[in-house]
Amino acid sequence: MNKYRIGIIGATGYVGVELVRALSGHDGVLLTTLVSQSYVGKKFSDVYPQFRSICDIELSGLDVSLMKSTCDLVITALPHGVSSKVVPELLDAGLKVLDHSGDFRYRDVTVYEEAYGLNHPHPELLSEAVYGIPELYREQIANARLVSDPGCYPTCSILALAPLIKHQLVSTDNIIIDAVSGISGAGRKADLPYSFCEADANYKPYAVEKHRHTSEIEQELSVLAQTDIALTFTPHLAPMKRGMLATIYADPMDPNNFSIDDVRKLYEEYYSNEYFVRVLSDNALPETSLVIGTNFIDIAVAYDKRTKKIKVFSALDNLGKGAALQAIQAVNVMLGLDEQAGLSVLCSGV
Amino acid sequence: MNKYRIGIIGATGYVGVELVRALSGHDGVLLTTLVSQSYVGKKFSDVYPQFRSICDIELSGLDVSLMKSTCDLVITALPHGVSSKVVPELLDAGLKVLDHSGDFRYRDVTVYEEAYGLNHPHPELLSEAVYGIPELYREQIANARLVSDPGCYPTCSILALAPLIKHQLVSTDNIIIDAVSGISGAGRKADLPYSFCEADANYKPYAVEKHRHTSEIEQELSVLAQTDIALTFTPHLAPMKRGMLATIYADPMDPNNFSIDDVRKLYEEYYSNEYFVRVLSDNALPETSLVIGTNFIDIAVAYDKRTKKIKVFSALDNLGKGAALQAIQAVNVMLGLDEQAGLSVLCSGV
Amino acid sequence: MNKYRIGIIGATGYVGVELVRALSGHDGVLLTTLVSQSYVGKKFSDVYPQFRSICDIELSGLDVSLMKSTCDLVITALPHGVSSKVVPELLDAGLKVLDHSGDFRYRDVTVYEEAYGLNHPHPELLSEAVYGIPELYREQIANARLVSDPGCYPTCSILALAPLIKHQLVSTDNIIIDAVSGISGAGRKADLPYSFCEADANYKPYAVEKHRHTSEIEQELSVLAQTDIALTFTPHLAPMKRGMLATIYADPMDPNNFSIDDVRKLYEEYYSNEYFVRVLSDNALPETSLVIGTNFIDIAVAYDKRTKKIKVFSALDNLGKGAALQAIQAVNVMLGLDEQAGLSVLCSGV
Amino acid sequence: MNKYRIGIIGATGYVGVELVRALSGHDGVLLTTLVSQSYVGKKFSDVYPQFRSICDIELSGLDVSLMKSTCDLVITALPHGVSSKVVPELLDAGLKVLDHSGDFRYRDVTVYEEAYGLNHPHPELLSEAVYGIPELYREQIANARLVSDPGCYPTCSILALAPLIKHQLVSTDNIIIDAVSGISGAGRKADLPYSFCEADANYKPYAVEKHRHTSEIEQELSVLAQTDIALTFTPHLAPMKRGMLATIYADPMDPNNFSIDDVRKLYEEYYSNEYFVRVLSDNALPETSLVIGTNFIDIAVAYDKRTKKIKVFSALDNLGKGAALQAIQAVNVMLGLDEQAGLSVLCSGV
């Protein structure tokens, strides 16, 4: 079988390395070009020595015309504001693109520009870019030239709320998302707050009045609700490398006629054909360690009868379903491959 | 100066060892008797070898008549259901008692019995027992024979909400407390979910439909509000030994006339004479590592203008202000000692 | 292609779950039977919920006649003393067996009986059992009915020293192996010393006067040296789930005529055809995080000119090349499969 | 009682903050001046917010003439190469100095210059400076103007070997020190290898062919042995903030006439008057968590009869007895204070 040729731009960040890890074991694709401006000329395994003998590809600088000849599809794991300049060139070269940044996630450029504090050089691409959650936009992704990989908090929140919102079972004006991320969410950087001695054994909130991902969550939930939603979001950091968990609070639309068992059945049905969404039953609850290294999102629902508050819990790996592995899932859809290809059994029991 | 003689029953649990740690450095008291049914005849430092040369007291079985002669005050760190039987005997022997269990925290015995699933053998003591948060009940504690050390989640929640509730600045029917604890909160036990390989690098919710501490929080906030409060509470476990953080959501009573700066000033004023409550300003936020080993609770407030949601953040050490050190603070008040005695500078910079 | 049918006895321990993880992604085999006496009737994913949708096989009790009909080869991950009873029955049923215990690792039954304090019920099998390091015994493994999976410390030590010992470059009477293991080495159990609160942030030696693995290391190095070797071994525990690192000290046979560069070349040559042994150069050193989840062992050599002391550093995953993944490597050899099958790209970048 | 006035130069590094922590609870001294070039004008508690209400002293730049008027003694926690310039000025101003750097630890300037690759601007001070292990040099420290705080690995190694070396019970030509440190040993810095995501769950050796501390250990052991000692040293990093453990191997001088019980008694006797050295018996072994936050060093001895190898295990807190707390112990001796003042009960049970 001919394999699709994949290039990665921004291969040495934490999203990049997770892409390389999973794609190295993906039978349907071939990694051809790894771009990393910081490490041009080094081997990938010089930067991540655990990849010695697994991926020793030489890292190169960005050369779109070269990528045109070596790749069928390019995954960009670049900072926002950089992607918006690079992606159009890749598209012009005839390449399919999966972009992992905030630059192409928005339908309305003014929302993007306010959230990111940047002018968008190519707003015309926003209407073309497909939001890359296959569970919601599978068909559009299959036909897209440009897919935008969602943020980690948005994926964790949107999939957790979609059945409730879609079926208008909850009030849309009092939703609270309280979420926690592992430290890799901050990226591969040497800042003091992320040093071992400062971050270990510490739990803390951040960005408590404004976080970019809020607008992204609201956009997608508003589409599902067919009405504008504003919600409250608070992110936290926990002392672990990977993992994300959202605890979500919402009010039932009709508390006098509400059954959490019915809601659970609704979730099971809503996601019955989705391999990567695991709806938990029997009082099981999501835990971050149960999804690390995987593309799964685990979801459970609960109900506080006394206060008539619905709780939804969702967990994913911020580098997995929250970033690199969801990107590969979408790439599989874009290329017409088995959606699970390269995404099986990366988890760990210990 | 004559030192007060203190005994501890349940000295080898995690609350017990933190009591021993702090009291060993307390100039105004003398540890005389350490009771631990599991380790009778062993030295305290046999169980906790870090205490070699610091506390080598021999552990004894429970003997109330002996304690009568060796102690002025006894701290009980026993499981609920056990305290309710032991404490009355201690009181009968003429001892002052600080009890760290749920057994004497409730004003209404039916609430206790529902929360703990136990019959209370001495409900007559509930009206006498003082709820041991000195910031709220200092005078009563000073005159009490029996003080009940509050739970960790309740301390973290009540002190965080007290100014808002007391001043009727928030609606009392939509309060959500989303909280996280370090693993020592589960006590010193060898259960698989708390083993290193299962608990490290894992974040998870638990007791999501019902947790005992909810009723305790509601009781105290209802007193402050002078009306019954029911609220939503969700605890989580984070992979760290110690530390607790609450993220609390509440609705302003009058959103059209609301200023978060005014609220912050109110907090500063409300706690202006309280050494152990640190109200943060300048956008600083609580972090668990900043309170570990101390009796401090750090509190910050924030406001989401878009959704008109107040957020209160509070952090404490679940074994510190959440248990053993708050117990010592209350004991200091009970004995007329300097309230800070034995509670200075236990923190760590790294 | 017909897949070989594999059964695992002891599937829910930490070695078992790592076997399931890797074999679930192995194209050449099919997991048919998972035996776990403690969880009969439950699904594997009930015990390890991360395996929901990955491995939902129902766990069964031990039934050799059933395994005879459902398996081509059985991997036993049982405690020592149990394997020695079960394995002969499996062999009698005509099954090939890969045993992960100490019961069939010894050539001399008296050494086993002293190390393990047990009588061996089937010493006649010791001469048949092949010691399962493919790098040393590939051909014998290929033809074996019974292969014994080596211990973690022995694998880490033997492969690190083999080139030096085989080529008689070091004195055999002053070898010191100072090694550290992650906590999963203690197995899946709920003992207090392995609880999160006791084990986190702690480093400690154990079994410092006698550890079973010493005799296993000595046996294999003595074979390579063609002379009896007694060596000094000290294991330690570090606060991490997985990983093992050995720091080995040895004296050059001829210090006046010694070149560490020549030694490094010798290692490279010795292991030039071994995919799973990575000899490091350019002053790179092994780190446990670089081999986690893999079947690699990383080895580096250094020399202290002042004291004429050779240092060899080796790192592996105690559950990987130190247990389950080496078992799969050996199983691949036993079944005539590609030796790397199912063992690619399980590592993680973060 | 008049309190001695103490200044700290380099107050915001990890040694600095541990000095501030312990001195804040020290009854006999007063912290007057905290110098931190990086944070001039900020409060100490701005840099370490856990110190809010504990130490809010404003950080100042270095001004020797000011320190002359505000301090009786200055502790310098500066990088090597900087101390050697600043300390002479402090001495000239009439101040007593405790220096925590490598600059004044050596008797022979050529050893210093080779180990640190620097010219020493004031070699004349080396003969005056006292090596600050009170257990070895108490009297000289009491009379010193300049005391040099030893390195962490040297303290851990020298005290562990002193009884054996002093009594000529071991051969001096085959000593191996295999040691591990927590990550705070690298100081407060934002380097990628010390970031949480790179350092957590990782164990690794470093500086395996040459580490500065080797020469410092050799110097002091040579003095004790009255002969030149060269030894082998290998440091490692374990994933924990604090703590250090050395596993030391040595050959008995007379293996045919050797008793480990006699050696243990010798250690007990040798350190019988030393509060901060705890010699363990009954097969207890040092663990890093048992000394964290304290000035204790725990030592145990063991013997491998088969290989006739003595093993000595020693554990301390690299920021405690290995740095800041030993500095305070020495300062207590310099000032004629109780040697334990400010050093009691900083440990933690959990």
- We report the CATH number of the domain holding residue A57 as 3.40.50.720
From residue C218, how far is each of C112, C140, C223, C228, C232 by CA, in Å?
A: 12, 20, 8, 8, 10
Half-sphere exposure of A155 (CA within 13 A, CB side): 35
Among B242, B244, B245, B239, smallest CA distance to B195 is for B239
Q: Does residue C190 sit in the same domain as residue C230? A: yes
Interface test with A, best of D14, D39, D46, D195 (most A CBs within 10 A): D195
Q: Does residue C82 sit in the same domain as residue C225? A: no
Residue numbers of the domain that contains D42: 4-128
What confidence score (pLDDT) does residue D186 get? 94
Strand partners of residue C130: C147
Question: Which B positions 317-336 lie with beta carbon below 8 A of chain D?
Answer: 319
- Distance of alpha carbon C314 from alpha carbon D302, whole angstroms: 25
Pair C297, C277: CB distance under 8 Å: yes
The enclosing H or E element of D215 equals helix D212-225
User: Cβ C203–D247 below 8 Å, yes or no?
Assistant: no
- Closest partner residue to D201 among C234, C240, C315, by Cβ? C240
- Distance of alpha carbon B169 from alpha carbon D78, whole angstroms: 51
User: Cβ C180–D238 below 8 Å, yes or no?
Assistant: yes
Q: CA-based angle D215:D147:D60, to the nearest 5?
A: 110
- Distance of alpha carbon C138 from alpha carbon B118, whole angstroms: 64
The DSSP secondary structure of C295-311, one letter per residue, reads S-EEEEEEEETTTTEEE
Task: Indicate whether this complex's ipTM tops 0.95.
Answer: yes
Q: Does residue A299 sit in the same domain as residue A161? A: yes
- Distance of alpha carbon C35 from alpha carbon C39, whole angstroms: 9
Q: Where a domain ends, among C128, C143, C171?
A: C128
Q: Chain B: nearest CA to A125, how far in angstroms?
A: 29
Q: What is the pTM (predicted TM-score) of this model?
A: 0.97
What confidence score (pLDDT) does residue B1 get? 63
What confidence score (pLDDT) does residue D346 get? 74
- Distance of alpha carbon C143 from alpha carbon C130, whole angstroms: 9
Q: What is the DSSP letter of B327?
A: H
Q: Does residue A177 sit in the same domain as residue A123? A: no
What does R_g of chain A's alpha carbons equal in angstroms?
20
3-class DSSP state of B16: helix
Q: Chain A: nearest CA to D341, how far in angstroms?
A: 27
Average pLDDT of chain C is 96
Q: Does residue D161 sit in the same domain as residue D297? A: yes
User: Cβ C202–D306 below 8 Å, yes or no?
Assistant: no
The enclosing H or E element of B69 equals helix B64-70
- Closest partner residue to C205 among D198, D292, D313, by Cβ? D313
Among A97, A157, A165, A105, smallest CA distance to A131 is for A105
Give D40-93 as a 3 state SS string.
Answer: CCCEHHHHCHHHCCCCCCEEECCCHHHHHHHCCEEEECCCCCCHHHHHHHHHHC
Q: Does residue A124 sit in the same domain as residue A212? A: no
Residue B201 lies in a domain: yes
In our burial notation (b when 16+ CB lie closer than 10 A, e otherwise), range A164-195 reads: bbbeebbebebbbbbbbbbbbbbebeeeebbb
Going along B77-161, which residue ranges are E strands?
A: 96-99, 130-131, 146-148
Residue B91 lies in a domain: yes
Q: Chain B: nearest CA to D48, how far in angstroms?
A: 7
Name, in order, each residue with C-beta under 8 angstroms of A129's C-beta and a sequence gap of 6 or more: A99, A104, A105, A144, A146, A147, A148
Residue D165 binned pLDDT confidence (cut-offs 50, 70, 90)? very high
**Neighbour subunits, A (≥3 Cβ pairs < 8 A):** B, C, D
Residue with tokens 């003429």: B94
3-class DSSP state of C274: coil
Active site (annotated) includes residue A152: yes
Q: Does residue C12 sit in the same domain as residue C85? A: yes
Nearest residue of chain B to residue A311 (CA atoms) = B208
Cβ contacts of C288 on chain D, cutoff 8 Å: 201-204
Nearest residue of chain D to residue B55 (CA atoms) = D345
- Closest partner residue to C190 among B14, B190, B241, by Cβ? B190
Residue D237 lies in a domain: yes
Q: Does residue A215 sit in the same domain as residue A113? A: no
What confidence score (pLDDT) does residue A347 get? 75
Nearest residue of chain A to residue B178 (CA atoms) = A178
Which regions in chain A score pLDDT beneath 70?
1
**Neighbour subunits, D (≥3 Cβ pairs < 8 A):** A, B, C
Pair D214, D155: CB distance under 8 Å: no
The count of domains in chain D is: 2
Is C302's Cβ below 8 Å from some Cβ in D? yes
- We report the CATH number of the domain holding residue C193 as 3.30.360.10
Among D210, D238, D211, D233, smallest CA distance to D318 is for D238
Nearest residue of chain D to residue A242 (CA atoms) = D197
Q: Chain C: nearest CA to D318, how far in angstroms?
A: 13
Residue B339 lies in a domain: no
pLDDT digits (tens, 9 = 90+) for A278-331: 999 989 999 999 999 999 999 999 999 999 999 999 999 999 999 999 999 999
The DSSP secondary structure of A22-49, one letter per residue, reads HHTT-TTEEEEEEE-GGGTTSBHHHHSG
Name, in order, each residue with C-beta under 8 angstroms of A81's C-beta and a sequence gap of 6 or more: A103, A116, A118
Q: Which amino acid is at D336?
A: G
The enclosing H or E element of C148 equals strand C146-148
- Provide the edge-to-edge strand list for the sheet that holds D277-279: D204-205, D232-237, D176-181, D244-250, D309-316, D297-304, D277-279
Residue C349 lies in a domain: no
Is D296's Cβ below 8 Å from some Cβ in B? yes
Q: Does residue D198 sit in the same domain as residue D53? A: no
Among D80, D114, D120, D73, smallest CA distance to D100 is for D80
Q: List the pLDDT tens digit at each of the 350 positions of chain B.
A: 689 999 999 999 999 999 999 999 999 999 999 999 999 999 999 999 999 999 999 999 999 999 999 999 999 999 999 999 999 999 999 999 999 999 999 999 999 999 999 999 999 999 999 999 999 999 999 999 999 999 999 999 999 999 999 999 999 999 999 999 999 999 998 999 999 999 999 999 999 998 999 999 999 999 999 999 999 999 999 999 999 999 999 999 999 999 999 999 999 999 999 999 999 998 999 999 999 999 999 999 999 999 999 999 999 999 999 999 999 999 999 999 999 999 987 777 78
Is D54's Cβ below 8 Å from some Cβ in B? yes
**Among B55, B71, B152, B156, the one annotated catalytic:** B152
Pair B18, B42: CB distance under 8 Å: no
- Closest partner residue to B203 among A174, A230, A243, by Cβ? A243
**Among A55, A71, A152, A156, the one annotated catalytic:** A152
- Distance of alpha carbon B344 from alpha carbon A305, whole angstroms: 43
Q: Does residue A165 sit in the same domain as residue A278? A: yes
Half-sphere exposure of B137 (CA within 13 A, CB side): 25
3-class DSSP state of B290: helix
Residue A334 lies in a domain: no
The enclosing H or E element of B277 equals strand B277-279
Q: Where a domain ends, among C111, C128, C145?
A: C128
User: Cβ A349–C296 below 8 Å, yes or no?
Assistant: no
Residue A340 lies in a domain: no
Among C227, C232, C262, C267, smallest CA distance to C246 is for C232
Name, in order, each residue with C-beta under 8 angstroms of B31's C-beta and a sequence gap of 6 or more: B6, B7, B8, B20, B23, B24, B55, B57
| Residue D326 confidence (pLDDT) above 80 | yes
Nearest residue of chain A to residue B260 (CA atoms) = A209
Q: CA-based angle B200:B202:B203, to the nearest 5?
A: 135
What confidence score (pLDDT) does residue A350 get? 83
Is D184's Cβ below 8 Å from some Cβ in B? yes
Cβ contacts of D196 on chain A, cutoff 8 Å: 183, 194-196, 199-200, 239, 241
Question: Which B positions 148-177 lie with beta carbon below 8 A of chain C?
Answer: none
pLDDT digits (tens, 9 = 90+) for B205-256: 999 998 999 999 999 999 999 999 999 999 999 999 999 999 999 999 999 9
Pair D264, D177: CB distance under 8 Å: no
The enclosing H or E element of B267 equals helix B260-270
Nearest residue of chain D to residue A49 (CA atoms) = D198
- Distance of alpha carbon A260 from alpha carbon A265, whole angstroms: 9
Q: Does residue B13 sit in the same domain as residue B123? A: yes
Residue B331 lies in a domain: no
**Among D55, D71, D152, D156, the one annotated catalytic:** D152
pLDDT digits (tens, 9 = 90+) for D45-98: 999 999 999 999 999 999 999 999 999 999 999 999 999 999 999 999 999 999
3-class DSSP state of A139: helix
Q: Chain C: nearest CA to D298, how far in angstroms?
A: 12
Strand partners of residue A97: A74, A146
The enclosing H or E element of C111 equals helix C109-116
Exposed, middle or buried, D205 (CB in 10 Å: 0-12/13-18/19+)?
Answer: buried
Strand partners of residue A303: A310
Q: Does residue A225 sit in the same domain as residue A271? A: yes
